């Protein structure tokens, strides 16, 4: 393992300190917890959004704390759900009196820990509700599994529900908007290389030089299957084919596109992927309203990418275009 760290046991705390040193105008850290909240939290009278999960997905989730997105982000150990006490502290710190919406990615541990924190905050009289993001089409949703995983599509939920809260919508409305995003967003990812959790010291799976893994999650877990490396256009086709039929996305639809790097992928390659995504969508008569290419929801140093489509209506378009000013997601009008 070759990593720029001091100690696997303190890597999350040290990262948090580095973020706060760099961006005090955006975030502050809660004493004793790996929680970042808006520098001006709580924002009085506004519904607050809290998200989070394991670390290793940077810039998620702390990078999305700020105006028009999240009010608080809770960081667990690398790829491990944060504990309810930390989430509870985040809720208390950001509640501005209008209630708090938790944005949770669909993993057993995350869902349970956020649920417990919700109950703890409710006992204090804070109004809390939650939504669960499950955009990954690689894992089938059936009675036999815990359900689909939440991956890069979560960032669209942060952006759009965050904009709804920023516009002064009530908790029920912000939740409705967040659920509308979840209902219309689908993603799928792939990897050329695995990643190494600092505390584990070795990769969670191995890939030969000529192999890639399709349908990976964002925690170094293996995907649905393995195949020989193909040209970027064919890889994009393989991911898109599963995504497009799932909602489905059809001719006449308008979408936002996210081509997300997994942490170790050159932007050059992400742009090459996006070129083909744009051309396939055009051929299918699906209009691209806005595109985001970059690292939004990563998996440490993994080389790979995910593609996310979000079907838009006028309400979602307006909220997607609304201003946001955070460390990793800035939007100043169209």
Q: Which residues form the catalytic set?
A: 57, 219
Q: Which of 9, 10, 146, 279 binds other proteins (CB under 8 A)?
A: 146
Q: Which of 77, 93, 185, 312 binds other proteins (CB under 8 A)?
A: 77
Q: Would you state the structure tokens that stand for residue 65, as one six-digit string?
A: 């704390």
Q: Compute the least distance from the CB of residue 81 to other proteins, in Å.
A: 6
Is position 207 an interface residue for other proteins (rule: CB under 8 A)? Answer: no
Name the residue nearer to other proteins (CB basis): 26 or 88: 88
Q: What residues contact 8, with CB distance under 8 A and at least 6 apart?
A: 198, 199, 201
Interface positions, 238-277, toward other proteins (CB under 8 A): none
Q: Strand 254-261 vs strand 100-105: parallel, antiparallel, or unpaired?
A: unpaired
Is position 108 an interface residue for other proteins (rule: CB under 8 A)? Answer: yes
Q: Compute the least distance from the CB of residue 116 to other proteins, in Å.
A: 5
Q: Which of 5, 22, 112, 267 binds other proteins (CB under 8 A)?
A: 112
Distance (Å, rounded) from C-alpha 136 to C-alpha 239?
11
Is position 143 an interface residue for other proteins (rule: CB under 8 A)? Answer: yes
Distance (Å, rounded) from C-alpha 134 to C-alpha 131?
10
Is position 82 an interface residue for other proteins (rule: CB under 8 A)? Answer: yes
Tokens 């939290």, residue?
Answer: 41
SS3 75: strand
Is position 325 an interface residue for other proteins (rule: CB under 8 A)? Answer: no
Q: Which of 115, 173, 254, 269 binds other proteins (CB under 8 A)?
A: 115
Q: Compute the least distance from the CB of residue 216 to other proteins, in Å.
A: 12
Q: Is the distance from CB of 151 to CB of 124 less than 8 angstroms?
A: no
Is position 113 an interface residue for other proteins (rule: CB under 8 A)? Answer: yes
Distance (Å, rounded) from C-alpha 260 to C-alpha 219?
15
Is position 85 an interface residue for other proteins (rule: CB under 8 A)? Answer: yes
Q: Which of 42, 56, 59, 76 binds other proteins (CB under 8 A)?
A: 76
The DSSP call for residue 290 is E
Which residues are registered as beta bridge partners of 260?
294, 306
Q: Is the distance from CB of 30 to CB of 38 less than 8 angstroms?
A: no
Is position 215 an interface residue for other proteins (rule: CB under 8 A)? Answer: no
Q: Give the helix ranges, DSSP H, for 60-190.
A: 84-94, 108-123, 154-166, 171-184
Region of 74-82, 163-171, 263-271, 314-322 interacting with other proteins (CB under 8 A): 74-82
Distance (Å, rounded) from C-alpha 164 to C-alpha 47?
9
Q: Enumerate binding residues for other proteins (CB under 8 A).
A: 76-77, 79-86, 107-109, 112-113, 115-116, 139, 143-146, 221
């Amino acid at each position: 393992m070759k990593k720029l760290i001091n100690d696997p046991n303190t890597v999350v705390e040290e990262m948090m300190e580095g973020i706060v040193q760099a961006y005090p105008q955006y975030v502050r850290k809660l004493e004793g917890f790996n929680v970042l909240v808006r520098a001006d939290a709580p924002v009085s009278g506004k519904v607050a959004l809290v998200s989070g999960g394991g670390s290793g997905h940077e810039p998620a989730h702390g990078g999305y704390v700020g105006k028009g997105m999240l009010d608080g982000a809770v960081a667990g150990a690398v790829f491990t759900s944060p504990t309810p006490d930390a989430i509870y502290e985040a809720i208390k710190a950001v509640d501005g009196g209008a209630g708090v919406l938790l944005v949770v990615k669909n993993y057993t541990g995350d869902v349970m820990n956020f649920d417990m924190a919700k109950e703890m905050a409710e006992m204090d009289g804070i109004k809390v509700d939650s939504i669960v993001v499950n955009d990954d089409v690689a894992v089938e949703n059936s009675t036999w599994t815990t359900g689909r995983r939440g991956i890069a599509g979560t960032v669209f939920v942060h952006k759009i529900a965050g904009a709804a809260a920023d516009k002064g919508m009530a908790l029920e409305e912000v939740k409705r908007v967040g659920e509308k995003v979840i209902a219309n967003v689908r993603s799928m990812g792939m990897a050329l290389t695995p990643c190494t959790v600092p505390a584990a010291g070795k990769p969670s799976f191995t890939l030969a030089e000529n192999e890639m893994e399709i349908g990976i999650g964002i925690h170094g877990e293996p995907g649905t299957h393995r195949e020989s490396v193909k040209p970027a256009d064919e890889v994009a086709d393989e991911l898109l084919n599963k995504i497009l039929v799932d909602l489905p996305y059809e001719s006449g639809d308008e979408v936002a596109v996210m081509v997300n790097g997994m942490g170790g992928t050159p932007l050059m390659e992400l742009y090459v992927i996006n070129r083909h995504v744009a051309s396939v969508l055009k051929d299918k008569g699906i209009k691209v309203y806005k595109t985001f290419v970059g690292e939004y929801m990563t998996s440490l140093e993994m080389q790979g990418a995910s593609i996310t489509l979000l079907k838009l209506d006028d309400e979602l378009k307006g909220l997607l275009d609304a201003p946001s000013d955070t460390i990793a997601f800035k939007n100043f009008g169209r």
